[in-house]
Amino acid sequence: MKIFAYALREFDEKEFFDQFSKEFHCEYGYTTEYPSPENVELARGYDAISATPCDLGADMLNLFYQAGVRYIATRSIGFDHIDLTRAKELGMGVAHVSYAPETVADYAIMLMLMCCRKIYPILERAKLQDYTLKGKMGKDLCDCTVGIIGTGQIGATVIKHLSSFGCRLLAYDLYPNEECAKTAEYVSLEELYAQSDIITLHTPSNAESYHMLNTKAFAQMKDDVIIINTARGALIHTDALIDALITGKVGYAALDVLENEDGLYYSNRIGDVIDNRTMAILRSFPNVILSPHTAFYTRKVVRDMAYKTIQNVHDMMNCIENPLVIL
């Protein structure tokens, strides 16, 4: 079994790839670069490639197939960056990873608390030695109605952990979770929009969920609503969010993910002119928190992602049933 890893981080991932490749008797090579037409040949002679979210559309899959690669193992929960239709046509196996839901769930709750207590402007003003109270009054999370969209593993964990805060909890999912229903009230999406003080997104990114928070959705929400997104940037129509922030419909937004973040997050862009107008606008707002897709980032999760990446390739090659194998 031979795996070539793209965009491998030497400062954290390599340690675990070294460890688990020995356990699985796997030979692996790597580059710190993201896959591109210029470096596809690095994977020639390997059974599988692994990468973090990047462009793995039809053209890239064709190139990897021509180089002899037959399996794709993304080191992420999300796999919307991979053209699954083309992979299936080529007969290429595709797999993603999973990790403990507490990591992202607790990060989302942290962002809720930061928004409720206006911690970002408080800290920014403190840097200037402005220790006055005007404009810093927050609200208690326990007095809020929190709407959770998506009650898979992460959304369910958000509900479980928020139950200790005393919030009223609303939930929406196409497939309600019986355990979640003991703590949260399942309602329609329209009811959730209308009643929630805080809305947090934990649903996959697909054609049905694309831009689910749009102008129409924001119009149905309470004034001064707080929006939390630790899922995928494409769930929110960014221009509509900007308009809602300007009008005060959205009082605060905390976004760990952003539309068009590929090639931006996880890169050192100090001194660069970044061609992302919506990001520049959002960064100018004192009531917006942008974190660079780091909700997942703990040592435990990085370890799990490395292990499951290698395990997934092993299972695909040996036709072992695995829920993380997509094709």
Domain ranges of the chain: 2-99+298-317, 102-290
CATH topology of domain 102-290: Rossmann fold (3.40.50)
pLDDT above 90: residue 292: yes
Q: Provide mean pLDDT across the span 73-90.
A: 94
Q: What pLDDT was estimated at residue 80?
A: 86
Phi-psi region of 129 (alpha: psi -120 to 50; beta: other; left: phi over 0): left
Spot the catalytic one: 13, 259, 261, 314: 261
> Is 232 labeled as catalytic in the residue annotation?
yes
CATH, domain range 2-99+298-317 = 3.40.50.720
CB of 170 within 8 A of CB of 185?
A: yes
Spot the catalytic one: 202, 232, 237, 314: 232
Q: Provide mean pLDDT across the span 203-220.
A: 95
Which has the closest alpha carbon to 305: 84, 43, 37, 50? 50
Cα dihedral across residues 12, 231, 202, 199: positive or negative: positive
Could you give the CA distance from residue 81 to residue 190 in angstroms, rounded to a whole number?
Answer: 29
273, two tokens: 């002119």
pLDDT, the chain, mean:
96
Element at 171 (helix H, strand E):
strand 168-172
Q: Tens of pLDDT along 142-199? A: 999 999 999 999 999 999 999 999 999 999 999 999 999 999 999 999 999 999 999 9
Cβ atoms < 10 Å from Cβ of 68:
11
CA-only gyration radius of the chain, Å? 21
Q: Tens of pLDDT along 217-272? A: 999 999 999 999 999 999 999 999 999 999 999 999 999 999 988 778 888 889 99
Q: What pLDDT was estimated at residue 266?
A: 84
> Is 161 labeled as catalytic in the residue annotation?
no
- Is there a common fold for 2-99+298-317 and 102-290? yes
> Is 179 labeled as catalytic in the residue annotation?
no
Q: What pLDDT was estimated at residue 262?
A: 78
